[in-house]
Amino acid sequence: MSHNPEQPASLSRRQMLSRIGLGIGALGMASSTMGKMALGKSVRATQNKPNIIFIMSDDQGYYDMSCYGNPNIATPNWDKMATEGVKFTSFYATMVCSPTRASLLTGCNHERVGFSWIIKFWETWALNVQEQTIPRMLKQAGYVTGCVGKWHLGHGGEAVSGCKGGMPKNYGFDYYKGVPLGHYGHIEGKRPHWEQTESMSPDEVTATSIDANTTEGMKYLADLPMHDTENAVDFMTRHKDVPFFLFLAHTAPHVYHWVPDKFKGTSNWGDYGDILQGLDWTTGEIMKALKDLGIEDNTLLIYTSDNGSDREESNAPLVGGKWGISEGSYRVPFLARWPGRIPAGKACDEIVSVMDMLPTFASIAGATAYLPTKKIDGKDVAEVLFDPSISSPRDELPYYKNKRLEAVRKGDFKCRFSRGPDPQDPSDKTPPAGDPLELYNVKTDPSESMDLIGDPQYAGTISELVEVRDKWARQLGDSLSKQSGSERRRAMGCKS
Ligand SMILES: [Ca+2]
């Protein structure tokens, strides 16, 4: 068993109330029996408190929507979001699941909050509850907050049975229903499906087993985006009269590629295309619910992915894929729609990052009084959403891969740094670790196909990028240059 080096030695005692064994049949039941619950401190008074729905898929690449150029799939609902809102073409997540989610919720680069890599099945660390988060901030500003779907920010280890301090309600969510890891985790054996209702305490959870090795379990997991969407609509319906924040985190199109029955054979792109078309349909259900509930014009709806696809063809024209620092790993689709506030049918190539969401939502929701007191990295990009022709306040971005600062972008340029020659291979002539290795203009050449490193006219650009790299390395560390970073904060342990 490996341990996250960020994890402190003292571990809190698990106090988890679970009622395991309800059976698969109970899973599809929506929580409609709860009836209307108004947890918000105030009723919606003005447009100053719009609802915010943030939908994030798992491993969906830049080319996995027809509005991003893929002719083999039909994604009319994402296309509708693009037609009625703004399509961003330089939006950055991170290279893998947990770091992006930590970055989203805290407004920080994932390295700042100790989230260098994925939380594995057997690991017992979690996002630190001391961090201010989007749901806690918005809750303080009068919102009701819900999370549905994939969590992956702390689960307590092998049993995946919940851990004090590591579950969604510990971070400011009023409601959660979903899987603690991804749907893929269930192929390893029975894993739980958690629910934390509005009336439960933060450490309390109802856990129901799902086993992907049964026909019933696999069918349920294949249909998980539909079940999660049903639960999301249920949450929206319960709280339509107060401002709400909903984080809908889908488990698809991550491997394994289990196709919902309803969408089998519907695309021209195999099982994977069928799954995408099913996911697109669920976004249509969310938009339909917004309209039916009469809250469409007072809701900011965002759709994005947590990292690029591990299928390179899903990231075209970007190169590389999940796990790395190429554009195909970090750069993902991002659509934002808010009728009457966000202009319709615009594209925006300004740099925006997942870490910008927290300050942006604070601005949009009138919650700036509850911004984190600790340092964050996010920028308020609300004005870019409202007017995509203006410059983004973000002009630089570090590309970390598990504590290695392998690239930075500033303005139009991205420099990749050497990881050094293979010590086992004397013939490897790769430059020393940390040396500038490749330079690309990723605005005009997002495919990273024309290396400008040897062109003397870019010597100043390279120096500037090295300065940016050194600044981030001093703050958040860089194992390539053996710096530990003076501003890193810790994740936390959550094992009993
Ligand atoms: Ca992912």
CATH assignment of the domain containing 431 = 3.30.1120
Catalytic residue among 67, 97, 108, 147: 97
Tell me if 348 is assigned to some domain. yes
- pLDDT bin (cut points 50, 70, 90) of residue 164 is confident
**pLDDT digits 0-9 by tens, 237-292:** 999 999 999 999 999 999 999 999 999 999 999 999 999 999 999 999 999 999 99
Q: Is 152 a catalytic residue?
A: yes
User: Separation of 66 CA from ligand 1 center, angstroms?
Assistant: 20
Tell me if 25 is assigned to some domain. no
Q: Could you tell me if 146 and 292 lie in one domain?
A: yes
* Predicted local confidence at residue 187, as pLDDT: 81
Q: Could you tell me if 67 and 152 lie in one domain?
A: yes
**pLDDT digits 0-9 by tens, 206-229:** 999 898 889 999 999 999 999 999
* Predicted local confidence at residue 495, as pLDDT: 57
Q: Could you tell me if 208 and 335 lie in one domain?
A: yes
**pLDDT digits 0-9 by tens, 40-52:** 444 454 447 999 9
Tell me if 20 is assigned to some domain. no
Tell me if 203 is assigned to some domain. yes
Tell me if 382 is assigned to some domain. yes
Catalytic residue among 110, 147, 152, 186: 152
* Predicted local confidence at residue 44, as pLDDT: 52
User: Separation of 56 CA from ligand 1 center, angstroms?
Assistant: 9
Tell me if 320 is assigned to some domain. yes
Q: Is 97 a catalytic residue?
A: yes
Q: Could you tell me if 241 and 218 lie in one domain?
A: yes
* Predicted local confidence at residue 7, as pLDDT: 39
Q: Could you tell me if 307 and 392 lie in one domain?
A: yes
Q: Domain end: 345, 361, 396, which one?
A: 396
* Predicted local confidence at residue 37, as pLDDT: 40
Q: Could you tell me if 110 and 199 lie in one domain?
A: yes
3-state DSSP of the chain: CCCCCCCCCCCCCCCCECCCCCCHHHCCCCCHHHCCCCCCCCCCCCCCCCEEEEEEECCCCCCCCHHHCCCCCCCHHHHHHHHHCEEEEEEECCCCHHHHHHHHHHCCCCCCCCCCCCCCCCCCEECCCCCCCHHHHHHHCCCEEEEEECCCCCCCCCCCCCCCCCCHHHHCCCEEEECCCCHHHHHHCCEEEEEECCCCCCCECEEEEECCCCHHHHHHHHCHHHHHHHHHHHHHHHCCCCCEEEEEECCCCCCCCCCCHHHCCCCCCHHHHHHHHHHHHHHHHHHHHHHHCCCHHHEEEEEEECCCCCCHHHCCCCCCCCCCCCHHHHEEEEEEECCCCCCCCEEECCCEEHHHHHHHHHHHHCCHHHCCCCCCCCCCCHHHHHCCCCCCCCCEEEEEECCEEEEEEECCEEEEECCCCCCCCCCCCCCCCCCEEEEEECCCCCCCCCCCCCCHHHHHHHHHHHHHHHHHHHHHCECCCCECCCCCCCCEECCC
Q: Could you tell me if 299 and 437 lie in one domain?
A: no
User: Separation of 432 CA from ligand 1 center, angstroms?
Assistant: 31
Tell me if 22 is assigned to some domain. no
Which of the two residues, 91 and 9, has the higher pLDDT score? Answer: 91
Q: Domain end: 396, 413, 435, which one?
A: 396
Q: Could you tell me if 237 and 266 lie in one domain?
A: yes
Q: In whole angstroms, give the CA distance from residue 85 to residue 77.
A: 12
User: Separation of 81 CA from ligand 1 center, angstroms?
Assistant: 22
Q: Which of 66-70, 184-188, 303-307 has the lowest mean pLDDT?
A: 184-188
Q: In whole angstroms, give the CA distance from residue 110 to residue 92.
A: 12
- What's the number of domains the chain is made of? 2
CA-nearest of 285, 30, 16, 36 to 177 is 30
User: Separation of 306 CA from ligand 1 center, angstroms?
Assistant: 5
Q: Could you tell me if 388 and 405 lie in one domain?
A: no
- pLDDT bin (cut points 50, 70, 90) of residue 324 is very high
Q: Could you tell me if 386 and 456 lie in one domain?
A: no
**Residues spanned by the domain of 213:** 40-396
CATH assignment of the domain containing 160 = 3.40.720.10
Contact 280, 272 (CB under 8 A): no
Q: Domain end: 337, 370, 396, which one?
A: 396
Ligand 1 ion: Cβ-proximal residues, 5 Å cutoff:
58-59, 97, 306-307
Q: Could you tell me if 354 and 413 lie in one domain?
A: no
Tell me if 14 is assigned to some domain. no
* Predicted local confidence at residue 9, as pLDDT: 33
Q: In whole angstroms, give the CA distance from residue 252 to residue 375.
A: 33
Q: Which of 118-127, 351-360, 376-385 has the lowest mean pLDDT?
A: 118-127
User: Separation of 311 CA from ligand 1 center, angstroms?
Assistant: 12
Q: Could you tell me if 386 and 431 lie in one domain?
A: no
Residue 393 in this model has a pLDDT that exceeds 50: yes
User: Separation of 150 CA from ligand 1 center, angstroms?
Assistant: 10
